[in-house]
Amino acid sequence: MPHAQLSIMNENRDSSDIDSILKPFQRFGVHLGLERIQKLLANLGNPHHQVPVIHVAGTNGKGSVCAYLSSILTEAGYRTGRYTSPHLVDWTERISLNEQPISKEQLCQLLLQVQAAIAPQEEIPTQFEVITAAAWLYFAQEKVDVAVVEVGLGGRLDATNVCDRPLVTIITSISREHWQQLGSTVAEIAGEKAGILKPGCPAVVGALPPDAQKVVRSRILELKCPYIFPQAARKIATGWAEYQEVDEKSGFEENSENFSNRDSDNLKTIKYPLSLQGQIQLTNSALAIAALEILRKQGWQIPEVDIVNGMTKTKWLGRMQWTTWNQHKLLLDGAHNPAAAQVLRDYVDDVTSSSAPNTPQSTSWVMGMLSTKDHTGIFNALLRPNDQLYLVPVPDHSSADPDELAKLAQKICPLSFCSTYPELSSALEAAFSVQDNLVILCGSLYLVGSFLGDRK
């Protein structure tokens, strides 16, 4: 797209409004590749070369891992940047420093700097590339000690994948999502995720399907990366977990001497609270602590007390988050792919299996999904006979048709109730009209974000 057209599109924008600055780039959609972002960052003075990075990829869990790492490193006294996506309510959520989101004014100024650096006659970057460049620029200007950076989509060709020597690379999980861009099989998707691994740089890898693990392990060996496949932490009490240092017997393997000379008979354990909900956090928190172990071997000062305090303070909005709506208790979660939906279902089963007083007697799902998602897989994971389903469109996005979703859901599972609603508030009102039920809003992070945004 010629520069002149971009200039015309921007003539009437308000330079203090983030949306108006970014909107012209939205039309370029998802366009994976590194050439545009590399040229853009070069025009900005290569700010990413000034930023020590922990790079995090994965189908699910990467946001939680980033949240744990950012909280703990901030608690340990390091100047810590964090870059994640998507945002739920506001663009400023994506970029933070010491757990505080960037101000709107700062982000606007950075975006204008990035826009000015787009060279004439060069291909116009995508919206994600522009906001990613702004994040790198911010972290360089703020002289962060470390930036925790979440991959946007895939890994190999993602705009965040411009760091040559990450402190640690993390791959949290791999399942079939975004197959339109990443490949139709788990092995192909794993190849894209493994594209963030760098020669000789330490890697931490979560539990993967066999086909995905084979691909990732092969890439690790090829690049001679020291690596850890940590075991999940162990639940020791309600809301508390215990992590054990890794060794050859508990999942530690290596390709260099970086992590040698461990005494497997004197392994340390760390007991810590889990502020995020769900069994999956035993895995996600272990991945974060394993990465911190590597940093500590590199000389970073991260005492156990800071790990405990950082875990306590970790927040991650919209993911198994309890809130209220009109004085009713409501559970929020994205659950936007089958693997994430299964994690949510497991948590719901745990909540509803209790014999304690006031345990919900039924489950009501208030859902909307994007048109591009695996609707069948998500419904199969979530729905159980006699559940209730309240379907809505996802506002301002390419939403699946609620009526079509209703037909599909009723084929998949014998529900006690299934209906569609034009917007979220009417669906919530209907869901809460049923007594003694657990109401869950899920199916899309954008739908959760719309709910949270309406409450501001």
Question: pLDDT (tens digit, 9 = 90+) per residue, 207-238?
Answer: 999 999 999 999 999 999 999 999 999 999 98
Per-residue pLDDT, averaged over 273-279, amounts to 93
Per-residue pLDDT, averaged over 424-448, amounts to 95
Residue 252 confidence (pLDDT): 42
Say if residues 383 and 412 touch (Cβ distance below 8 Å): yes
**Which residues neighbour 227 within 8 Å (Cβ) at sequence distance 6 or greater?**
202, 203, 204, 205, 220, 253, 254, 255
Per-residue pLDDT, averaged over 177-194, amounts to 74
Residue 8 confidence (pLDDT): 35
Residue 28 confidence (pLDDT): 57
Please give the mean pLDDT across all residues of the chain: 89
Q: How confident is the model at residue 255 (pLDDT cuts 50, 70, 90)?
A: very low
The answer to whether residue 247 scores a pLDDT higher than 80 is no
Say if residues 217 and 195 touch (Cβ distance below 8 Å): no
Measured between alpha carbons, how far is 280 from 31 in angstroms, rounded to an integer? 31
Q: Give the predicted TM-score (pTM) of the model.
A: 0.89
Q: How confident is the model at residue 374 (pLDDT cuts 50, 70, 90)?
A: very high
Greater pLDDT, 71 or 8? 71
Measured between alpha carbons, how far is 276 from 313 in angstroms, rounded to an integer? 10
Per-residue pLDDT, averaged over 243-268, amounts to 51
The answer to whether residue 380 scores a pLDDT higher than 90 is yes
Per-residue pLDDT, averaged over 49-75, amounts to 97
The answer to whether residue 11 scores a pLDDT higher than 60 is no
The answer to whether residue 19 scores a pLDDT higher than 50 is yes
**Which residues neighbour 64 within 8 Å (Cβ) at sequence distance 6 or greater?**
276, 280, 281, 284, 285, 316, 319
Per-residue pLDDT, averaged over 114-120, amounts to 93
Lowest mean pLDDT among 25-39, 255-269, 280-294: 255-269
Q: How confident is the model at residue 361 (pLDDT cuts 50, 70, 90)?
A: confident
Closest C-alpha to 57, from 180, 185, 208: 208
Measured between alpha carbons, how far is 26 from 83 in angstroms, rounded to an integer? 19
